[in-house]
Amino acid sequence: MKGSASSSWNEGYIQANGIRFHYVEQGQGPLVLLIHGFPEFWYSWRYQIPVLAEAGYHVVAPDLRGYNLTDKPDWGYDVGTLSADVVALIRSFGYEKAVVVGHDWGGAIAWHAATFYPEQIQRLVILNCPHPNLFYKGMRQPAQLKRSWYMFFFQLPWIPEWALSRKDYQFVKRALRESAVQKNAFDHETLQRYRDAIAKPQALSKAIRYYRVMFRDFVARRSFPWEQPVKMPTLLVWGEQDVALGKELNEGLSEWVKDLTVHYIHDSGHWVQQEKHEEVNRHILGFLGSPLPTTHKEGQMSGRNKNKTRPGSKRAPKKKSSI
């Protein structure tokens, strides 16, 4: 089954955790929330949205706090607030629980949500993002420190924003394509979409703020390590040729995840759901199996009737996506 851009996607806005999120959605049924990474936006899930929707899920891919068309407040870029955003989105869409799929920064947020809000996460899917405890440990190794050079660069004031945006955001476009194994995942049109999203006013600065806050918390040992293990069924899919995150960061993962399935994809880099989307989709669908029971809040409409206006709904009117 091959996913692709679809005119049946809807896009809209929804209030959650005190800000307005932009999202794209498709399908009806149990909720699957797709959480993107840096320097991306909802479009990184273009190959997963229609496939999961066809399989019987209500698929929602939001732009994260600070990204693209979502609000860009000056606060809330710590992982605790970011995972609270995920829980608030689940509730704002009228569900009690969801399958959460996260890549890169979205994976870090998903790890946190699964650890500290386990009652809201039915199943967890992580793509190329180590468990934060193992990443924290791995950052003591020279090889990973070298791979993570950009995180240290992002701690400088204003210079990263200048460097990444100069020459029409050429650094961002080049980084996506050159770090991919499957270069055809990032054709000119796709790179232009990424450029347009990160070039939104304040978007690049807010995206970099994720790293600045994370680094501050790392140094202060404010958030790490986490003591609670992840208890729900978890799938890890990893593109082995990731230039930023070494495969060895997953050593010892079973200590922190009690029900774990792992698939490595040799001929993929960091952007695994775009580079090897058919294989990733097979792994996700195989892990999820038949659609899980829909878990709505008491008094909320079922997923198959949710497009009707609900009294007191916080969702703005939707429109067909032109993307």
What would the pLDDT profile of 115-170 be if each residue is shown by its tens digit? 999 999 999 999 999 999 999 889 889 999 999 999 999 999 999 999 999 999 99
Answer yes or no: is pLDDT of 291 > 90: no
In a domain, 30, yes or no: yes
Q: What percent of the chain shows pLDDT beyond 90?
A: 80
22, 36, 103, 270: the active-site residue: 270
What does the pLDDT read at residue 216?
Answer: 87
Number of domains in the chain: 1
Answer with the residue of higher pLDDT: 258 or 7. Answer: 258
- The whole-number average pLDDT for the span 43-49 is 98
CATH of the domain at 144: 3.40.50.1820
The neighbour count for residue 80, using CB atoms within 10 Å, is 15
In a domain, 181, yes or no: yes
What does the pLDDT read at residue 310?
Answer: 32
Q: Is 211 a catalytic residue?
A: yes
Q: Is 270 a catalytic residue?
A: yes
- The whole-number average pLDDT for the span 276-300 is 82
Residues in the chain: 323
CA distance 199 to 171: 12
In a domain, 3, yes or no: no
**Boundaries of domain holding 284:** 10-311
In a domain, 237, yes or no: yes
Answer with the residue of higher pLDDT: 308 or 208. Answer: 208
pTM check: above 0.85: yes
In a domain, 128, yes or no: yes
In a domain, 171, yes or no: yes
211, 242, 277, 283: the active-site residue: 211
In a domain, 197, yes or no: yes
The neighbour count for residue 62, using CB atoms within 10 Å, is 29
In a domain, 2, yes or no: no
Q: Is 296 a catalytic residue?
A: no
